[in-house]
Amino acid sequence: MSTSKKVAVIGGGPAGLSCAYQLARKGHAVTIFDERAELGGMMRYGIPGFRTPREVLDAEIRRILDLGVTARMSCRIGTDITMDRIRAEFDAVFLGLGAQSGRPLPVEGADAPNCVTATAFLKAFNDGRMRHVGKRVVVVGGGDTSIDVATVARRLGHIEKVNESDRPEYAIAGIIAHDVAAVSAKQGAEVTLTSIFAVDKMQASRAEVEHALAEGIAVRGGYAPLAVLRGPDGRATALRVIRCEAKIAGGRLEIKNIDGTEEDIPADLIVSAIGQSVDFAGLAEFDNGKGAIDTDRNYQVKGQPNCFVGGDVVRPHLLTTAIGHGTIAADGIDRFLHGEALDRRPKIDVHVFDLQRKMIERGLVFSEVHEPIRGTDTSQAAIHNFDNRSDRYVIPHEELFLGHFNRTPRNRRNVVTLSAAEALGNFEERLLPLTETQAVAEAKRCMSCGMCFECDNCVVYCPQVAVFKVAKSKSTAGRYVDTDYAKCIGCHICKDVCPTGYIQMGLGE
Ligand SMILES: Cc1cc2nc3c(=O)[nH]c(=O)nc-3n(C[C@H](O)[C@H](O)[C@H](O)COP(=O)(O)OP(=O)(O)OC[C@H]3O[C@@H](n4cnc5c(N)ncnc54)[C@H](O)[C@@H]3O)c2cc1C
Ligand code: SF4
Ligand code: SF4
């Protein structure tokens, strides 16, 4: 049902899309503003299509827009439209700005034209402007972004006779777009990835590093960049590096260079993948001075009750983190728009089933609910030994009783590993999705931690016949069994045999 409240979502990356989706479901009118031509944020303009397939992304975005969400593209808040105007026109705002700007290498010579940032490199590739790279590409980083740059460079390859105007840096700068015809004569590029950390300590996932190695990328751990060496034309010709030992001590990065180990790695293109920063142009009021936006646990901007925030602009992390922030912020925005106080978020933000909603769905009458819900046998609201524990803990595996279940192996997704020769020109997805049968089989392995899955163990094993099944007409999810506390002697057997850890002792009065 429409609430006739209007929310502006600034940034159509995973954080903004997730927030828009949840707000639309709650009945609010949502407009997403994004400076790019298409929605998706880093899922479209950063991460290559062989990792976040565009047809899947497009379908997910369509589902969100189909809820009635409006998208205003190629519109940057802070420059095209001021924040004051947004505030005047909307009841609440979500800031999902991401961290769009790449960090250049902090060394001498890094302003050479063929020394670029990872975000600029990947955007040129994802826009389709850049179709080949230099013969020798050096990537500096060690995280997932650097692996994406290196693997894209391997796939693009280089062309032997490159016209001056065809150099990749011009495509990256948006001055030209490479001609598709030239690409047929491509050869593999020599790609080197350097990291200050040893290879086994790099931030990129182990599997991604192994893929990069299989694809012929030279991964060199324990090297710090010292300088970009330039030729007479000002272009970079090599990256000077030095062996180093790097570690994080007390939250701070410590790098110890090893004197006398300098080395020059020849390069036609140098890509800096050492992190991203937020572009606060026109939005400086939100900058906490450290290049991020300060927020509380509800993702409400400190001191600005109608502004919420989430995703990389809070702290660069993962897609799933940004999606989670968007969901939590949408809860806060919804409460704010209804004039309600914001909840103290639980310590662990797990999804808990909504007893009231389940009962309404089943057309059942319930009495008033008081948290924590305790005891069941006299209340129409409570259910068998159920107490919302999400503010305290997730059911740990020790609380599951697995005695009646055989171990079922996980249905793993197939991963395609390419050799150096196979990688050139291959833009296919590497992590293949499960088939429908596999997906169903995998879902069946779920042990429903913390939620009754109606196995009858407690009914069968209770020596006092105190546990009984709720009449079908009154049962619903989580309200399948009930306990007669007059019969219960507190022997714990029901708790011990419950496979899901759903039963908690000590709730009866
Ligand atoms: C190369 C690369 C690889 C990655 N690989 C992975 C991975 O494998 N797995 C993973 O989980 N995470 C990965 N990440 C991280 C992940 O992409 C981010 O954590 C996530 O995209 C953050 O989402 P977001 O919505 O906060 O920001 P973004 O995705 O950056 O989206 C922000 C959006 O806001 C728009 N915007 C910004 N400012 C304004 C403004 N003022 N007005 C209008 N619009 C604006 C931008 O155009 C953009 O569309 C990767 C990141 C990069 C760069
Ligand atoms: S504690 Fe013992 S008596 Fe009480 S319901 Fe559980 S199994 Fe039955
Ligand atoms: S043993 Fe646990 S999962 Fe099985 S019916 Fe009883 S409460 Fe539900």
- Indicate if ligand 2 lies below 6 Å from the C-beta of 460: no
Confidence (pLDDT) at 374: 62
Ligand 1 pocket at CB < 6 A? 10-16, 33-36, 41-43, 46-47, 51, 76-78, 96-98, 100, 122, 144-145, 148, 311-313, 317-320, 322
> Residue 435 CB: number of other CB atoms within 10 A?
11
pLDDT digits (tens, 9 = 90+) for 317-335: 999 999 999 999 999 999 9
Residue 349, pLDDT above cutoff 80: no
Residues 6+ apart with CB under 8 A from 14: 41, 42, 43, 96, 311, 319, 322, 323, 326
Confidence (pLDDT) at 20: 98
Distance 277 CA to ligand 1 centre (A): 11
By most ligand atoms within 8 Å of CB, the mutation choice from 103, 319, 320, 323 for ligand 1 is 319
Per-residue pLDDT averaged across 425-446, rounded? 94
Confidence (pLDDT) at 347: 72
Question: What's the predicted TM-score (pTM) here?
Answer: 0.87
Confidence (pLDDT) at 308: 98
Residues composing the chain = 509
Above pLDDT 70, what percent of the chain?
92
pLDDT digits (tens, 9 = 90+) for 111-157: 999 999 999 999 999 999 999 998 999 999 999 999 999 999 999 99
CA dist 153 and 141 (Å) reads 14
Per-residue pLDDT averaged across 196-200, rounded? 96
Residue 79, pLDDT above cutoff 80: yes
Distance 43 CA to ligand 1 centre (A): 7
Secondary structure class of 29 (helix, strand, coil): strand
Residue 177, pLDDT above cutoff 90: no
Identity of the amino acid at 385: N
Confidence (pLDDT) at 260: 97
Confidence (pLDDT) at 392: 72
Confidence (pLDDT) at 183: 61
Distance 434 CA to ligand 3 centre (A): 30
Confidence (pLDDT) at 504: 83
Per-residue pLDDT averaged across 224-243, rounded? 98
- Indicate if ligand 2 lies below 6 Å from the C-beta of 492: yes
CA dist 242 and 259 (Å) reads 8
CA dist 34 and 25 (Å) reads 21
Confidence (pLDDT) at 376: 60
**Mean pLDDT score of the chain:** 91
**485 pLDDT tier (thresholds 50, 70, 90):** confident
**372 pLDDT tier (thresholds 50, 70, 90):** low
By most ligand atoms within 8 Å of CB, the mutation choice from 457, 467, 481, 482 for ligand 2 is 467
pLDDT digits (tens, 9 = 90+) for 459-483: 999 999 999 999 998 888 888 998 8
| N-term to C-term CA, the chain | 40
H-helix or E-strand spanning residue 397? none
CA dist 351 and 327 (Å) reads 11
Confidence (pLDDT) at 15: 98
Are 27 and 40 within 8 A, CB to CB?
no
CA dist 49 and 429 (Å) reads 7
Ligand nearest to the CA of 457: 3
- Indicate if ligand 2 lies below 6 Å from the C-beta of 507: no
Distance 363 CA to ligand 2 centre (A): 30
Distance 404 CA to ligand 3 centre (A): 13
Secondary structure class of 290 (helix, strand, coil): coil
390-394, 450-454, 472-476, range with the lowest pLDDT: 390-394
CA-closest residue to ligand 3 atom 3: 452
What burial letters (b/e) apply to 118-152, b meaning 16+ CB within 10 Å? bbbbbbbbbbebbbbbbbbbbbbbbbbbbbbbbbb
CA-closest residue to ligand 3 atom 8: 452
> Residue 337 CB: number of other CB atoms within 10 A?
20
**375 pLDDT tier (thresholds 50, 70, 90):** low
Per-residue pLDDT averaged across 39-59, rounded? 96
pLDDT digits (tens, 9 = 90+) for 18-32: 999 999 999 999 999
- Indicate if ligand 2 lies below 6 Å from the C-beta of 503: no
pLDDT digits (tens, 9 = 90+) for 298-314: 999 988 999 999 999 99
CA-closest residue to ligand 3 atom 1: 498
The residue whose two tokens read 């994004």 is: 34
Residue 344, pLDDT above cutoff 90: no
- Indicate if ligand 2 lies below 6 Å from the C-beta of 467: yes
**382 pLDDT tier (thresholds 50, 70, 90):** low
Residue 338, pLDDT above cutoff 70: yes
Ligand nearest to the CA of 463: 2
Residue 385, pLDDT above cutoff 70: no
Residue 179, pLDDT above cutoff 90: no
pLDDT digits (tens, 9 = 90+) for 50-68: 999 999 999 999 999 999 9
CA-closest residue to ligand 2 atom 3: 488
Residues 6+ apart with CB under 8 A from 132: 156, 157, 158, 159, 162, 166, 168, 178, 182, 183, 186
